[in-house]
Structure 1
Amino acid sequence: MSETSTGPEFDLVIRGERILTTAGITAREVGVRNGKIAAIEPLGNGLRGRQTLDLAADETLIPGLVDTHVHVNEPGRTEWEGFASATRAAAAGGVTTILDMPLNSIPPTVNVPALEEKRAAASGQAFVDVGFWGGAVPGNIGDLRPLHDEGVFGFKCFLLHSGVDEFPPLDADEMEKDMAELKGFDSLMIVHAEDSRAIDRAPHAEGDQYSRFLASRPRGAENVAIAEVIERARWTGARAHILHLSSSDALPMIASAKRDGVRLTVETCPHYLTLLAEEIPNGATAFKCCPPIREASNRELLWKGLEDGIIDCIVSDHSPSTLDLKDLENGDFGVAWGGVASLQLGLPLIWTEARRRGIPLETVVSWMARKPAELARLTHKGQLALGFDADFSIFAADESFVVDVKKLHHRNPITPYDGKPLAGVVRRTFLRGTEIDGEHPGGKLIRRGEA
């Protein structure tokens, strides 16, 4: 039983007509003690806190979002992004937990010493909680179990060149061997699934024509690679996860694999759900990412895949770079870095599209908080429920704003969303019951099994 007004005080009590709990959006009082949600009671029960916060009529309290796909790039490429700037941007967007990818930092997180370097770089800088993925590359199968034991949440591999030479790809047979190794300790293989042979045979992407770039990364390259992941996961019994799905063609075989009991999960990203190939101007390399943003018909099928439960979650794939690497001067899609900077904007981007489609906020938050937390087995994150971490944001769903790249917190001022009108404003964000102020880093470095 939780304490009533006659019992001990809470550290913080939040009251409001719109609290998004596991029972939906309802009028509640939430009591926080020692960084955890210790009480959820009907509004009017009079929970007493050392601090009390009453939500405005237009505000909804939602659980902190969990973004399991973020490239922070520190150490080694901190001029692209760093832990302070990335986690400040995350907090401003209502994200309270991120998992950092094993590249494009130098060294990549492919052994325990590299993980220790990354943790040392992040220490004392994080405004939100930060966990780490390990990397699976040729020759490091012996490093997978030690990295797992050190708390990484799973392992990322590529099936084609990753974009950086220090993180080489696996072929499908190597991936299968690593999957069999991971099955022994029930870890997760997360895969950038594009087939190198299909891309080698596609047209090259040089020049400023977006249509040419799109043709250089055909859907078929994704479809072939995803089929490989499915079959290797089927044969080994390992857990596998498809990163940043952009080809809707793959949805039927994903659905079929899930029905067959293959241990498969799938994510997609805001850029595939909000942007359209038909609307990308030539030379606009801020929109370049791999796999690419595809056509309107493809986008609609991705939304249906989410609603049908074939796609499990939405995460950012925040992959920033310096401005010069985006080749803004020439707008050449063949040489520009491929990555979309969007960490701060995910919730309003998805909410803007979702509400136009009649999808409720509860569903959006499930895709962006509960489901990514479940993917990473973060058992105390992603829901506003008793015993969970008191990670929240206060969201004004009906307020609108226009994206101004100069007001975003990630390091380099470029995003394809600059100037885009969006619905939904994150007004305040809390980590374990303490408001994130962007000045005093209070995030923890978390390990698998601890959070």
Structure 2
Amino acid sequence: MVDLVVRSRRAVTPDGEQPAAVSVRGEVIVAVDAYDAPVNAAEDVDLGDVALLPGLVDTHVHVNEPGRTQWEGFATATRAAAAGGVTAIIDMPLNSLPPTTSAEALRIKQHAAAGQCHVDVGFWGGAVPGNAADLSALHHAGVFGFKAFLADSGVPEFPPVDAEQLAGALAAVEALFVVHAEDPYHLHEAAHSPAYADFLASRPADAEHAAVATAIGAARSAGARVHILHLSAASALPLIAAARADGLRITAETCPHYLTLDAEQIPSGATEFKCCPPIRDAANADRLWAALADGLITCVVSDHSPCTPELKRADTGDFAAAWGGIASVQLGLPVIWSAARARGHTLADVVTWMARRPADLVGLTGKGRLAVGADADLVAFAPDARFVVDPGRLHHRHPVTPYAGRELAGVVRTTWLRGRTVTGDRPGGVFLSRDGAAPS
């Protein structure tokens, strides 16, 4: 007897898309059988041609609570994640107050999140000038690794590190480091203007190229594991390829907005498109897609980075004054699927990029796959259904999105977290750590 069996003619398993019946006992997948296999189950759900995916894993989410909960919070961010088929997020250490740069700050954040999470939540620690001595204790407390900025983060309590400080942090603890790679010496003050081209000129591809080189140099010297966050500039790809060919432990991610939005099509004053590093042109996106297809870019994550509508400065359309960040944790799956299928990619490709590889990046080997022994994080996804993005139907705190009005393919019908349907009525997420899960 099992608690739940979910059947689909389009189940995306580690062996590819195939008809299957996925059986769940408690919180774990206990069998993956033929679609029409007889199963003695308390609940038998037949999705037919609606696809069954593993829950997505988003390792780049800014929740901002505590301290800036008016921007976002655990209740709203995780509800949005579940609505988008994401069943696990890793929260970034900055934009909350205090930032997660010590074990005590992690405890404060976990206390704020307790009882609010609709999906499972893990945490990144932060590496900032002067806290190298705190990193070991913070790592021991369960963070999945450490984020560092090489340029201004946008908030004063999370300052950037220089090359020497990054090297010191890498030497202080054996851990995964994730790096915001923009070089401050290649950045320029943006003109106060509603023209996107003026903002883009202030953050050229050279800034990413130089910072990626710095991160690779630090990783080479320390023998450390380094992951390049939200890669926008395709010109940095050869550096990453060469580092990997040399045996360095270097990986990189990109985001839906860099793959699907075009700098040349951004309207004047449309500050909802502002993020750092910036959205570049369509030819650049083509090169990112090619790198994703051949595995040089390993995963696609949201970099969900919301703020209050006032900080987006829609009243003036001033790109220089607007907060940089795109809130898209609910929309990443249909955004990427819509573009991927047009380029000849499959649902199995999307699951690899957005579920299995992000899970593997942080060591969550029980997430991101429909396999025996994995957590029963499941998503019923109608890949051929279409919808128009209505900001009013988004669950994150402030419904500001550059995808408003865009028609997308793929609708999340149901999300199960460890075998239970996520309805938004009762938070059921747990805290994740490198040493296992604990109730939230």
Q: TM-score, normalised by structure 2?
A: 0.98
- CA shift, 1:27, in A, is 1.4
- CA shift, 1:56, in A, is 2.9
Corresponding residue of 2:191 = 205
Note the alpha carbon deviations across 1:282-335, whole angstroms, 9 max, x for none. 100000000000011101000001011110100000000000000010000011
In 1, are the aligned partners of 2:21 and 2:33 still within 8 Å (CA)?
Answer: yes
Identify which of 268, 276, 291 aligns with 1:282: 268
Identify which of 151, 175, 182 aligns with 1:194: 182
- In structure 1, give the amino acid aligned to 2:330: Q
Corresponding residue of 1:409 = 395
- In structure 2, give the amino acid aligned to 1:131: G
Gaps of at least 5 residues in structure 2 are: none
Q: Give distance in 2, aligned partners of 1:126 and 1:375.
A: 22
- In structure 2, give the amino acid aligned to 1:441: P
- CA shift, 1:203, in A, is 5.1
Equivalent residues in 2 for 1:37-56 (5 A)? Answer: 37-56=29-48
Q: Give distance in 2, aligned partners of 1:56 and 1:283.
A: 45
- In structure 1, give the amino acid aligned to 2:193: G
Q: Give distance in 2, aligned partners of 1:27 and 1:191.
A: 40
Q: Secondary structure at the match of 1:17?
A: strand
In 2, are the aligned partners of 1:377 and 1:449 still within 8 Å (CA)?
Answer: no
- In structure 1, give the amino acid aligned to 2:82: A
Q: Give distance in 2, aligned partners of 1:410 and 1:124.
A: 17
Q: Secondary structure at the match of 2:101?
A: coil
- CA shift, 1:45, in A, is 2.1
- CA shift, 1:218, in A, is 0.5
Corresponding residue of 1:3 = none
Gaps of at least 5 residues in structure 1 are: 1-8
- In structure 2, give the amino acid aligned to 1:244: H
Q: Give distance in 1, aligned partners of 2:284 and 2:326.
A: 19
Note the alpha carbon deviations across 1:99-148, whole angstroms, 9 max, x for none. 00001000000001110010001110000000000000011011101011
Corresponding residue of 1:4 = none
Q: Does 1:22 align with 2:10?
A: no
- In structure 2, give the amino acid aligned to 1:219: A
In 1, are the aligned partners of 2:99 and 2:105 still within 8 Å (CA)?
Answer: yes
Aligned residues: 437
Identify which of 352, 374, 382 aligns with 1:388: 374
Q: Give distance in 1, aligned partners of 2:435 and 2:336.
A: 30
Q: Secondary structure at the match of 1:445?
A: strand
Corresponding residue of 2:3 = 11
Corresponding residue of 2:298 = 312
* Two-structure CA RMSD over aligned residues (Å): 0.8
- In structure 1, give the amino acid aligned to 2:11: I
Note the alpha carbon deviations across 1:151-171, whole angstroms, 9 max, x for none. 000000001110000001100
Q: Give distance in 1, aligned partners of 2:2 and 2:199.
A: 55
Identify which of 203, 209, 214 aligns with 1:228: 214
- In structure 1, give the amino acid aligned to 2:108: E
Q: TM-score, normalised by structure 1?
A: 0.96
Identify which of 104, 121, 132 aligns with 1:113: 104
Q: Give distance in 2, aligned partners of 1:182 and 1:399.
A: 47
Q: Secondary structure at the match of 1:423?
A: strand
**Residue identity (%):** 58
Q: Does 1:148 align with 2:139?
A: yes
Corresponding residue of 2:321 = 335
Q: Does 1:36 align with 2:35?
A: no
Q: Secondary structure at the match of 2:414?
A: strand
- CA shift, 1:205, in A, is 3.1
Note the alpha carbon deviations across 1:69-125, whole angstroms, 9 max, x for none. 000000000000000000000000000000000010000000011100100011100
Corresponding residue of 1:123 = 114
Q: Secondary structure at the match of 1:11?
A: strand
Identify which of 170, 173, 197 aligns with 2:161: 170
Q: Does 1:61 align with 2:52?
A: yes
Q: Give distance in 1, aligned partners of 2:9 and 2:296.
A: 33
Q: Give distance in 2, aligned partners of 1:296 and 1:42.
A: 42
- In structure 2, give the amino acid aligned to 1:138: P
Q: Give distance in 1, aligned partners of 2:191 and 2:408.
A: 31
In 2, are the aligned partners of 1:88 and 1:409 still within 8 Å (CA)?
Answer: yes
- CA shift, 1:413, in A, is 1.6
Q: Give distance in 2, aligned partners of 1:336 and 1:30.
A: 46
Identify which of 234, 238, 247 aligns with 1:252: 238
Q: Does 1:81 align with 2:81?
A: no
Q: Which moved more, 1:390-399 or 1:40-49?
A: 40-49
- CA shift, 1:416, in A, is 0.4
In 1, are the aligned partners of 2:149 and 2:181 still within 8 Å (CA)?
Answer: yes
- CA shift, 1:204, in A, is 2.4
Q: Give distance in 1, aligned partners of 2:360 and 2:422.
A: 24
In 1, are the aligned partners of 2:7 and 2:48 still within 8 Å (CA)?
Answer: no
In 1, are the aligned partners of 2:133 and 2:172 still within 8 Å (CA)?
Answer: no
Note the alpha carbon deviations across 1:397-426, whole angstroms, 9 max, x for none. 000000000110000121000000000000
Q: Give distance in 2, aligned partners of 1:158 and 1:439.
A: 37
Note the alpha carbon deviations across 1:166-188, whole angstroms, 9 max, x for none. 001100110011111223xxx11
Corresponding residue of 1:159 = 150
Note the alpha carbon deviations across 1:357-386, whole angstroms, 9 max, x for none. 000110011100000000011110011101
- CA shift, 1:20, in A, is 1.1
Q: Does 1:345 align with 2:334?
A: no
Q: Give distance in 1, aligned partners of 2:353 and 2:191.
A: 33
In 1, are the aligned partners of 2:57 and 2:367 still within 8 Å (CA)?
Answer: yes
Q: Secondary structure at the match of 2:413?
A: strand
Q: Give distance in 2, aligned partners of 1:381 and 1:449.
A: 14
Q: Does 1:182 align with 2:170?
A: no
Identify which of 376, 380, 384 aligns with 1:398: 384
- CA shift, 1:14, in A, is 1.0
Q: Secondary structure at the match of 1:446?
A: strand
Q: Give distance in 2, aligned partners of 1:268 and 1:76.
A: 28
